[in-house]
Amino acid sequence: MLREGEQGHDGRPIALVGLSLVALLIGVLAGGASVLFRALVAAIHNLFFLGTLSFYYDPNLHTPASWLGPLVILSPAIGGIAVVMLFRALPSDRRGQGVSDIIDAIYYREGRVRTVSAFAKSLAAGIQSASGGSVGREAAIVQIGAALASRTSRLFHLVQWQRMTLVAAGGAAGLAGAFNAPLGSIVFAIELMMPEISARTLLPVTIASGASTFVTRFYYGLQPTFLVQTVMATHLRIAGALSLLPFVLFGILLGFASWLMIALLGWSEHLFARMSPNPYLRHMVGMLIVGGLAYGMMVGTGYYFVEGPSYAALQDMLRGDIATLGFFALLFAAKVIATTLTLGSGGSGGVFSASLVIGAALGGVVGTATTLIAPGLEVDVTDFCIVGMAGMLGGTTGAAITAIVMVFELTRDYNVIVPMILGVTLALAVRRALLPESVYTLKLVKKGHEVPDALQANTYRIRHADKAMATDFEVRPAAQPLDETIASLEETGTPFYLMISDGARLKGYIRLDPGFKLWQARESGTTLGDVARTDFVLARPMDAMFDVIARLARRGGNLAIVVGGVRRIPRAGDVVGFISLDTMGAAVIENARAYAAPPTRNPFPILYRRRVVRPIRFWRDRLRGTRPEPDA
């Protein structure tokens, strides 16, 4: 028997208090790393565009015209060379990016984020954004937080579930530090990074996000990331059901736009891969076009607009500084093209910020058009921009609740919460109908790494052991001959279990599969004790199945023997039932039945998907034009 006190080889668990303290440390480290990383990005940006060495710049303000003049077109290309060099220095299996790589680490690498690779990719993303590439910095900071968490959990030699929890906490802490949005970051981790949601996993994520936000607010203050034209609660802009109709149409449009964004990223990668096998040439071509586009925007409008995360353009839209439909359309098209070229040509960075800007610009287009077509609705263009931010973010990432909470935290505008919920819901529904995978999971699925798109409570795991156990067993002494036992039993057509006793002690068990009457002992005189199996664990009738399953997994057992009584060391006579792996599998199938997807077209011929084919009934049903039902 596997003893209750044995520990698995994966590490050692610590109490929730200790895990929370480790999460607090990770949050502080992630917050500090966020401040340092933003300073590094600022230094690179100021060096490229302003020719000065300074560790601060406000991305919500437009970058002045560069001292390089037209040569600023080369800035994204020069930064892109450094990005490709960093990526080429990594092994090919370690070039995943941002949130996708963290999700992959949690579900397929036991929560192990490669620290050196993560920091190298984060540095590449920082250089990409600071030199003018149309990507955000948030993915890099998220990856830094996850890498710090993974390294810290390995230093403490924690078990796998605690390591995975801390990696999610580190990613949430990084996002909170990047956007000053702890609540949205917590929900982001819940929707995309956490295989289990419970008090023991949620508390570390919450603590880490709060600690990271607390650290970054020392440097950047308490104000929201973006400032919006405020409206008093007594003057709500959307007061009637008719005013919500444009947002319904806009939500559907956002779904198509989200699908288009994901499709364009995949198409551009394929296009650049066919262009040249040289990664430097591919990326330089893409970044030269981005540089030219940014310089063209500067010449035509007075600002670069599409370089970096484009927070200044987003701030202009939310403040109402942009008012024409044509300008909104220009921003939408320019940002889509710049982001697609940056990432499709081999760049590094996140689409989080790009989704916000693209969604806001599309919202400006729809909002302006609505005011022209139906001025009587008295809608506000800024409302459409905010709904566009949330809808595009939710549609591309698949994190609907994150989009709503995050955009609310970024803007602190509660007036638009109802149309925001409506827009995000419709955008996600439409995008999933067109493409089931999000921008984060598409690449993982292509390489065979499926990730769950829903979290469901397994009701079987909360049952008590006495509600899940089987009782069709017999207790036999270890000294009884095997041949005599087989002769005394009857075939039932199902597996049968014997509990083997050595005096009062429980020695083990034997599973007799159908057909055991044909068994013959290899040696005469073989007893039940000679063939008894000891790969079992013990459980009490009131133990939760979650704990029983965890005990089996930790000790590699194949059977849980349920014992009653109050004795600390149970006896064979205390056995009241058993729980086999077959029983668990059947229970899992039954639990999934309520949530099973509706039937779709079966790809197999009807002769194979029918369990019993009766020719007369088959052809009778075919002639009647009805679908034959399978026999039970």
Q: Do domains 16-220 and 235-446 have the same CATH topology?
A: yes
Higher pLDDT, 628 or 184: 184
Residue 4 confidence class, pLDDT cut points 50, 70, 90? very low
Q: How far apart are CA 121 and CA 94, in angstroms?
A: 9
For 86-97, what is each residue's pLDDT tens digit?
888 776 656 566
Share of the chain above pLDDT 70, in %: 84
Select from 269, 423, 416 the least CA-distant residue to 359.
423
| pLDDT score, position 358 | 95
Cβ–Cβ < 8 Å for 545, 464: yes
Backbone φ, ψ for residue 602 (5° rounding): -80, 125
What is the bridge-based pairing of β-strands 473-477 and 496-502? Answer: parallel
Structure tokens at 457: 């409570």
Residue 631 confidence class, pLDDT cut points 50, 70, 90? very low
Q: How far apart are CA 146 and CA 166, in angstroms?
A: 8
Which whole number is the average pLDDT over 148-156? 91
| pLDDT score, position 202 | 92
Share of the chain above pLDDT 90, in %: 26
Q: Which fold has domain 235-446?
A: Clc chloride channel (1.10.3080)
* Confidence (pTM): 0.78
Among the residue ranges 155-169, 182-196, 504-518, 578-592, the one predicted with the least confidence is 578-592
| pLDDT score, position 453 | 66
For 261-290, what is each residue's pLDDT tens digit?
999 998 998 898 888 888 889 889 999 999
| pLDDT score, position 258 | 94
Which H or E run includes 617?
Answer: helix 615-624
If you write DSSP's letter for every residue of 124-173 in order, what string do you get? HHHHHHHTT-S-BSHHHHHHHHHHHHHHHHHHTTB-HHHHHHHHHHHHHH
Q: Report how far apart the first and last C-alpha atoms of the chain are (Å, whole number).
A: 41
For 581-590, what is each residue's pLDDT tens digit?
887 777 776 6
**Domain 459-593: assigned CATH number:** 3.10.580.10
* DSSP 8-state class, residue 94: G
Q: Which runs of consecutive H residues, i.e. helices, occur in 439-522?
A: 442-446, 465-468, 482-488
Q: Tokens 């005990």 appear where?
A: 551
| pLDDT score, position 625 | 57
Higher pLDDT, 352 or 94: 352
If you write DSSP's letter for every residue of 467-535 in order, what string do you get? HH-B--EEEEETTSBHHHHHHH----SS-EEEEEEETTEEEEEEEE-TTGGG---SSTT-BHHHH-B--
Q: Tokens 């960093």 appear where?
A: 86
For 545-582, what is each residue's pLDDT tens digit?
888 888 888 777 889 999 988 777 888 888 999 988 88
Higher pLDDT, 387 or 443: 387
Cβ–Cβ < 8 Å for 391, 403: yes
Q: Which of 66-80, 484-498, 613-627 has the highest mean pLDDT?
A: 66-80
For 228-262, what is each residue's pLDDT tens digit?
654 444 445 555 677 788 999 999 999 999 999 99
Higher pLDDT, 328 or 483: 328
pLDDT higher than threshold 60 for residue 8:
no
Which whole number is the average pLDDT over 338-352? 87
| pLDDT score, position 28 | 95
For 463-505, what is each residue's pLDDT tens digit?
788 888 888 888 999 888 888 888 888 877 778 899 999 888 8
| pLDDT score, position 50 | 85
**C-alpha dist (Å) from residue 206 to 150, 198, 200, 267, 604:** 17, 12, 11, 38, 47
| pLDDT score, position 613 | 47
| pLDDT score, position 166 | 93
If you write DSSP's letter for every residue of 167-187 in order, what string do you get? HHHHHHHHHHHHHT-HHHHHH
E strand spans, 313-407: none
Residue 596 confidence class, pLDDT cut points 50, 70, 90? low
pLDDT higher than threshold 90 for residue 172:
yes
Cβ–Cβ < 8 Å for 169, 22: no
| pLDDT score, position 503 | 85
Select from 503, 467, 485 the least CA-distant residue to 577.
467
Q: How far apart are CA 91 and CA 110, in angstroms?
A: 20
| pLDDT score, position 231 | 44
Residue ranges per domain, the chain? 16-220, 235-446, 459-593
DSSP bridge partners of 12: 158
Residue 337 confidence class, pLDDT cut points 50, 70, 90? very high
Average pLDDT, the chain: 83
For 405-458, what is each residue's pLDDT tens digit?
988 888 877 778 889 999 999 999 999 999 888 888 888 887 777 777 666 666
Structure tokens at 479: 């000294």
Q: Does domain 16-220 have CATH number 1.10.3080.10?
A: yes
pLDDT higher than threshold 80 for residue 333:
yes
Cβ–Cβ < 8 Å for 309, 349: no
pLDDT higher than threshold 50 for residue 2:
no
